[in-house]
Structure 1
Amino acid sequence: MNKNIFLVLIAGSLAIAAGALFWSMQEKPVATGPALPTFDYVNGDSWAERPELPPPAVWETGWDIDVVLLAGEAALEISGTQAIEKRRVEAAGKLNDLAGAFEKTGTVYAPYLRAASLEEDTAAALSHYLSTDNRGRAFVIATDRPLPAAVLPLFEADPLLRDRFGGVLLFGENNAGAGLSEGLAPGVTCSRRYKADEGCIAPVELRRSGNGFAASGGERLVNGLIPWLNEHTSKLAEPLGELEEIEIIEIRRPGETD
């Protein structure tokens, strides 16, 4: 009798172990949740940081610097347990803290990005900034990721853009030895201010300061940028307003009127 009970216990233990092994080998379900919104960078709510009033254009007060903050660490991810709005609030908090580290460098623009569409959103946000917000101003990009190749056409389409591009301030874990991206050679994106062998990327160290961050490094890109622009580059002229259609009136000689 005792022997039978012992065999039953052994068989039960083996069945439990086999079941546990089978369960552990199953693919874990992919976390799903509400779809993230597609950001339209024309709208202000697609930006965590953006000035309420546009800073003066280059043709109004001369050269000044903007900082476009592209932070992959603050990108929104899909989560089945967290509401979209809560994720946006958390991303806004991270971007606000990071923006504080670059406020001394210039006016900060920080778009929301989606982790699953990081390259696409990076290119779209940068494209909108250049076409609408930049207005001929000098700018640098602060990022924790190499710039994607998707931004290459932006620089290729406008030779003057490269001159006022100060370079990349690279922060975070990727700030040592990282390049712009595969296919984004310094000769394509960097200003002629820089020698071919030095490039236009500088590592930046962020350290906690109160509730935010303070940045150190990157002075090579920022210091002397405006004096160089004043000496070597022409400012963009103010764009013409919209064309107004003028009706052409027929000219008649005396006696030809009805």
Structure 2
Amino acid sequence: MNRKITIAVAALLLAIVIGGVVWTNRPEPPVTGAALPTFDYAAPDSWALKPSPRPPAVWEGVWDIDVVLLASEAAMVANDRIALETRRDDAAETLRDLAAVFEPAGPVYAPYLRAANPDADISAAVLTYLAADNRGRAFVVATDAPLPADVIAAIEADPLLRDRFAGVLFFGERGETGAQAPMVCSRRYKPEDGCVVDVDLRRNGGRISLASDGPVGGRLIDGFIPWLNERASKLAEPLGELEEVEIVEIRRPGETDDALDAEEN
């Protein structure tokens, strides 16, 4: 009898131990939550970073370069356990750290992105920047993800825009899903050279810096402004909105309504 009890107790203990090991090594359930709101990139709060004051348009001064920073590593994930404001703050902090690396090339524009819709958000953000913020300036894209096809198509369709597109500073992983797709390039570059430059980053204690010496941008930034001065055309300042002007009848001196009525009678 005692032997049967001993075996039963041992079996129970073994089952408890095995159950504990299985529970400890179970896969974490996926974190789900309400979908993040769609960003409206015409609104300032959809951008983690925008230069202030606004950089001068090309027709207001000389050529200069903007940096459009697109970081999928800072994309926001739907999560009911973490407040939306906290996720925005975390994304903004990552984007500020990355922006510090690229700011020597020019003022930085960095939109918030959703991890579930990166291509849609990247397209909307870049096309909004081009329509509302670029104002004829040169620009370079710093990214760890491929540019969506509609962004590339928009650059390719406009020769003046294509000329002032300095290219892509790619800080993602090559050979994985983040590998940069073939690019459309300015006339400045030979087809065999392309206009994508890898940027190696060093991460240490939460700080991000260039892993190599030298200014960020390399051959894309170096000499680009002189090339624009010699080869590219600046946009003219756009005309203001059309104003409706009332057409006033022209009369000779003394031609009042009463005088005209008298003549007709």
- Deviation of 1:80 (Å): 3.4
Q: Name 1:196's counterpart in structure 2.
A: 191
SS in 2 for 1:202: strand
Q: Name 2:260's counterpart in structure 1.
A: 257
Please list, as runs of the form range in 1=range in 2, the aligned pairs for 1:72-151 lying within 5 A after superposition.
72-151=72-151
Distance 1:175 1:28 in 2: 28
Q: TM-score, normalised by structure 1?
A: 0.84
1:88–1:58 Cα change, 3 Å: same
Q: Name 2:224's counterpart in structure 1.
A: 225
Instruction: Give the aligned residue type for 2:246.
Output: E
Q: TM-score, normalised by structure 2?
A: 0.82
- Deviation of 1:52 (Å): 2.2
Instruction: Give the aligned residue type for 1:125.
Output: A
1:104–1:23 Cα change, 3 Å: closer
Q: Which moved more, 1:91-100 or 1:28-37?
A: 28-37
CA contact (8 A) 1:168 1:201 kept: yes
SS in 2 for 1:88: helix
Instruction: Give the aligned residue type for 2:188.
Output: R
Distance 2:23 2:101 in 1: 48
SS in 2 for 1:109: strand
Write out per-residue CA displacement over residues 205-258 of structure 1, whole angstroms, 9 at most, x where no aligned residue. Answer: 223699754435531000111111111111000000000011112345658734
Instruction: Give the aligned residue type for 1:199.
Output: G
1:23–1:204 Cα change, 3 Å: closer
Unmatched segments (≥5 aa) in structure 1: none
1:246 aligned to 2:241?
A: no
Q: Which moved more, 1:120-129 or 1:142-151?
A: 142-151
1:80–1:168 Cα change, 3 Å: same
SS in 2 for 1:257: helix
Tell me which of 196, 200, 208 is aligned to 1:205: 200
- Deviation of 1:39 (Å): 1.3
Quick one: percent identity of the two aligned structures?
Answer: 57
Instruction: Give the aligned residue type for 1:257.
Output: L
Distance 1:228 1:175 in 2: 32
* Rg comparison, structure with higher value: 2
Aligned length: 252
SS in 2 for 1:249: coil
Q: Name 2:41's counterpart in structure 1.
A: 41
CA contact (8 A) 2:166 2:186 kept: yes
SS in 1 for 2:5: helix
Unmatched segments (≥5 aa) in structure 2: none
- Deviation of 1:150 (Å): 3.6
Distance 1:13 1:210 in 2: 44
Distance 2:37 2:73 in 1: 18
1:22–1:203 Cα change, 3 Å: closer
Instruction: Give the aligned residue type for 2:195.
Output: C
